[in-house]
Amino acid sequence: MNEEVLLESRTLRESVAEHTGALDKVKALAVLPDGMHVTTRMVADYFEVGETVIRAVVHDHRDELEANGYRVLTGPELSCFKQLCGLPPRTRSVAVFSRRTVLNVAMLLRDSIVARQVRAYLLDAERNTRPHPVDNLFHIDLDALDERITRISTQTAGRLIGQTIVPVLNHLIHASGEQRRELTAIREDLERVKRTLQGRELTGAAAAAAAAVDAMGRREFEDHVAGLCRRDGCTVANTGSDSGPSAALVGRTADGRRLVVRCEHSATHRAVESGTMWEFAGMAKLEHEAEGALFVTNSTFTTAALGLAARHGITAVHRALLEAWSTGTALQVLR
């Protein structure tokens, strides 16, 4: 097992998820007064990254993190938690991570030095406890396999892996209890290669979608966002405002929640600032009483704007998230 496989394989991450002591081997993890949980800000401080980076990890791997203890507290549960941990009384919701969840984040963060140190400790500990494979167990050179597969089409590669190699490994796994763990790891590695090929196709599609969005006018951008909302089951209509570079859509999600969407098309180097986000928050919550709010832009958001969005329950759809949405990924808030 190496670092790249740990980053890609959920199965291997689950196999070492109990080793939360690795966090303390690298640096001290500050916890809330309950002695069990940490907030998004505390997780970001531990890994020495921005809160937006942690939120992005949560967005991409929410199911896995929730299985390891990640929760968003609201209502009566939040009231009790605020009294226990001394949180501000006006807090409407708070995301909390258990130590197991923080370790899970460490196995997903690619660009944090602290996360790399945690992974290195986990891998060293795993190597010391793993038995050496027997001499007759076949091994796969994944780098060479990846290079060869890239020379053929994704469809052919997927068929080769799915119809030929994986069934053979499944048979061997059932037939050989002694080497089951090694064979399972090999199967995970092959799945990673397959996902890599699919990811290359998605990356090309996302780049093309981004270029098309940048070339749009304000009205075209608004129609594009409205089309994405309708694709995901929403009913939306334009408010009728034609002033400025932005527009608003109102409607309902597939499950009937009132939805308000702000569409902001601008030069990609101009980040949406907190004043604009504050204006939209007031309009969405006070004027429309929105239960779901999206601020969609083809550029980015300032840190202050992202903070406002998080506090007011607004989903900030930045350039990268818009690319994923445009190529088929459904937004969590619309599900």
Same domain, residue pair 13 and 74: yes
Quote the pLDDT of residue 209: 78
pLDDT reported for residue 64:
94
Q: Do residues 320 and 234 share a domain?
A: yes
Residues 330 and 235 occupy one common structural domain: yes
Q: Which of 74, 107, 129 is the endpoint of a domain?
A: 129
Find the domain containing 197 and state its range. Answer: 142-213
Mean of the per-residue pLDDT values of the chain: 81
Domain boundary among 213, 233, 263: 213
Same domain, 18 and 120: yes
The answer to which of 123-127, 182-186, 217-221 has the lowest mean pLDDT is: 182-186
Residues 173 and 100 in one domain: no
Q: What is the DSSP string of 222-236?
A: HHHHHHHHHHTT-EE
Q: Are residues 150 and 229 in the same domain?
A: no
Q: Would you say residue 184 has pLDDT above 50?
A: yes
pLDDT exceeds 90 at position 170: no
d(CA 186, CA 174): 14
Q: Residues of 180-214 as b/e, b for ≥16 C-beta within 10 angstroms?
A: eebbbbbbbbbbbbbeebeeeeeeeebeebbeebe
In a domain, 150, yes or no: yes
Q: Do residues 150 and 256 share a domain?
A: no
Residues 117 and 209 in one domain: no
Cβ(107)–Cβ(119) below 8 Å? yes
pLDDT at 149: 52
Query: 9 with 119, same domain?
Result: yes
Domains contained in the chain, number = 3
Question: Are 221 and 207 within one domain?
Answer: no
Amino acid occupying residue 45: D
Query: 115 with 28, same domain?
Result: yes
- The answer as to whether 136 is a domain residue is no
Confidence of residue 135 (pLDDT cuts 50, 70, 90): very low
Average pLDDT of span 18-34: 88
Asked whether residue 204 falls in the same domain as residue 222, the answer is no
Determine, yes or no, domain membership for 79. yes
Q: What is the tens place of the pLDDT at every residue in 231-242?
A: 999 998 887 655
pLDDT in tens, 61-119: 999 999 999 999 888 888 887 777 777 777 788 899 999 999 999 999 988 999 999 99
Give the separation between CA 70 and CA 103, rounded to whole angstroms: 11
Beta strands at 292-297 and 314-317: parallel, antiparallel or unpaired: parallel
What is the arrangement of strands in the sheet containing 37-39, beginning at the earlier edge strand?
37-39, 94-98, 71-73
Position 135 in a domain = no
* Structural domain includes residue 134: no
Which one-letter DSSP state was computed for residue 241? Answer: -
Residue 35 lies in a domain: yes
Task: With both helix axes pointing from N to C terminus, report the angle between 40-47 and 99-106 in degrees, rounded to the nearest 10.
Answer: 40
Q: What's the CA gap between 29 and 51, in Å, rounded? A: 16
- For residue 32, being part of any structural domain is answered with yes
Burial class (CB in 10 A: 0-12, 13-18, 19+), 173: middle
| pLDDT at res. 107 | 93
Interval 298-309 mean pLDDT: 90
Q: Is residue 189 part of a domain?
A: yes
Which of 213, 233, 261 is where one domain is finished?
Answer: 213
